[in-house]
Each structure stands twice: as C-alpha cells, then as structure tokens.
Amino acid sequence: MVNAEIKKTLDKYVQIIHELGNGNFGLRDGFLEPYFAINTSAFFSGDLIIRNYKLVDCWDCGRTAFRVGKELEEKGFEVKYKFARSQEGSIQNYVEVLDPDTKKIVRVDATPWYERLDPEYEEAGEHEAPTKDNYAIAILTQNAGPMLSVEKQTESLFIETYILGSYESTEDKLEEIRQLMAGQKIEKKEKGPHYSLQLWSKLCKSVVDETLDKIVFSVDILDSTKTYGYKGKMQDGEWIEHPEEALEMLAKDGVIKLKIETEEEFNSNQMAKQFGMLQASEIEDENNNITFLNDIAKQSPTRENLVRNLKANLGVLTNIIFNLHPWIQELNGNSSMNVSTGLTHFVY
C-alpha cells in the first residue's frame, strides 16, 4: 500500500481539477488579460514570450506538478520533477516521490489524462525544481506552445488546444546573407509576415500519445504597425469577446492572412512546403475564410467538437495579435528589433 499522505495529496488535486469544469484545464485565462507584455528570449530564436502573472494561477501539467510537488515537499517527502515526451515532441510533467513506508519511488500525476499514481509512460528527463516565477511566463515557438484547454470526450479521449507563434528571426535573415556571400542564388520570395500564430485543436488519448485528428487555424500578421491602431478604436476586451468579427475585419483590410487546415491538409501542405513544392499563398482560397470552420464542423461529430474547442480559444489568438508590435524587445530589456527589417536597437 502506498503511503496515505501521498494518496491523499493526489486525490486533493484531482478534485480541485474536476472543480475547474471540463474544458477549463489549461492556460487560456492567463492569455485573456487585455494588456500584457510579449518579448523574445533572443533575436536569433524567433520565439515569443508572454509575461503575465495571471498565468501563475492557471493549470497545466507543469503547474499541476509544481503544486503537487511543493505540497509533498512541505509534508517532508523527497520529490523529483520529471517529464515524459511523445514522439511528436509534447511534454507531460509529473512528480516522483519516495514512499517512506515501502522505500519505493511513486509517480504522482493528477492531470485529467491520468488522475492516478504510477501512470505508465516512459521517463524522458528531470527538471530542476521550479519556482512560482517560472509559471508567470509562457513560451511560443513555431513548433510548440502552451496548452490552452483540455476537454474530456470519452473515458479515454481528449481534445487539447494549443497556441504556437513566432516571427522571422535574425538567424533566418542571416542565413540568406550567408548564402549570398557564398555566391548561392537566392530565389525571390514573398515578403514574410511580421508574426505567425497557430491555434491547434487535436484529438488524442493523452499528451504523450499520437494525434488522432486535428484542426489548425493559422494567422500571419502582415503589418503589425496597423493592429495597434485598430486596438485604439475598440473598447477594452472587445477583440477578446468577439474574436471572429475582429479576425474578419483584419483579414478584410489586409492586415492579417488566415489559413484553416484539417489534419490531412496540414500534413500534406507541410510536406509539400518542405520539398519546395508549395508556397503558402497557393493554398485554396476557401481555406482562408473563417467560415470554413463551419464546413469542417459538418464533416463528423469529432470535427464538430474540435471546431467548438478551437472557437472557444479564438479570443487568445486575437488578444495576442492586438498585443504584438512592430518592434519586439529581448526579455532582458537590452535591445529591440524591428520584425519587418531586422534592424536592431540597443539600449545602453
């Protein structure tokens, strides 16, 4: 039998997460403040770092492991912070605790996918013990990003929604310069967007299991000098409360470009672009209209649920759009960069 305090701690957090309500486990609420800072770790990275202390109060696997681990530590247990990783790169955080009664290591995972001791996934590594300040930020890249919500569908299936984002980094621009200096021919290409964001809703058994179906909603911010002007004409939070209208307005005025793909389309387009067979502008126009989501929803009950979850998180997407600027600052505050030209300004 496992130590009673370990089981009691697990049960406590499982109950707390149940009380959040189905679909509310995630960081969505931390992204819905009308104003927050967006920085980058370094100009060569292309990542976006959201800073907002409301994120500390949200729930995901990392924040759950942090709360469970800290409580067990306060009770005198020896705790380690571990993670598992899926083949697609997704991370599942959990804690390991030494049971003083049996002298055995016990895994503790209170997240919606597991809600039990010793779930069967393969350890991928160990984190340093986190602090509360670690969870006041969220990092978006072009390949990964924070989980906004999780909705249980059946006993074994869940819909997870993620937000991803990036800008064209100095590393991307320097690569072109290297090619030119090496005498390589650079094909003329369309001017890239200032920023790119993606909202994913996917069906799976857990974070570390394969994706069974997916809808991807992509937005390219073509001119970030204009979004702030639109924000000044709107009431606080209007772009959050009415995201579809805000997105349609920006798309109509050429400030952003939308793209909506099913899993089959996304995988096919990614492969075609990887081999230089497809440019982003060549995707069917019908996929660039927000109403295409309604067509996808009619394809199956599963896709209807995927679209519903994606729409429930569109306010996060629009809020990030309206908090992006033509210049992005490094997190240390020493310099900023124009995302259109790559021009860097250093603060001395």
Beta bridge partners of 96: 80, 107
pLDDT in tens, 2-59: 999 999 999 999 999 999 999 999 999 999 988 888 999 988 888 999 998 899 999 9
pLDDT on residue 20: 96
Mean pLDDT of 292-310: 95
Q: Report the percent of the chain where pLDDT is more than 70.
A: 88
Alpha carbons 124 and 313: distance in angstroms, whole number: 30
pLDDT at 253: 92
pLDDT the model gives residue 271: 67
- The reported pLDDT for the residue numbered 276 is 59
Residue 21: the pLDDT is 96
**Domain range list for the chain:** 4-346
In angstroms, the CA 94 to CA 111 distance is 9
pLDDT in tens, 324-338: 988 898 988 778 888
Tracing tokens 């800008």 back to the chain, one arrives at 167
* Cα angle for residues 137, 143, 148 (degrees, 5° grid): 50
Please report, to the nearest 10 degrees, the dihedral formed by the alpha carbons of residues 338, 332, 93, 197 taken in order.
Answer: -10
pLDDT at 185 (0 to 100): 60
**192-207 confidence digits (pLDDT tens):** 789 999 999 999 998 8
Q: Is the pLDDT of residue 169 over 80?
A: no
pLDDT digits (tens, 9 = 90+) for 84-106: 988 777 889 999 999 999 999 99
Query: Pseudo-torsion of CA 279, 281, 283, 285, nearest 10°?
Result: -170
Q: Is the pLDDT of residue 232 over 90?
A: no
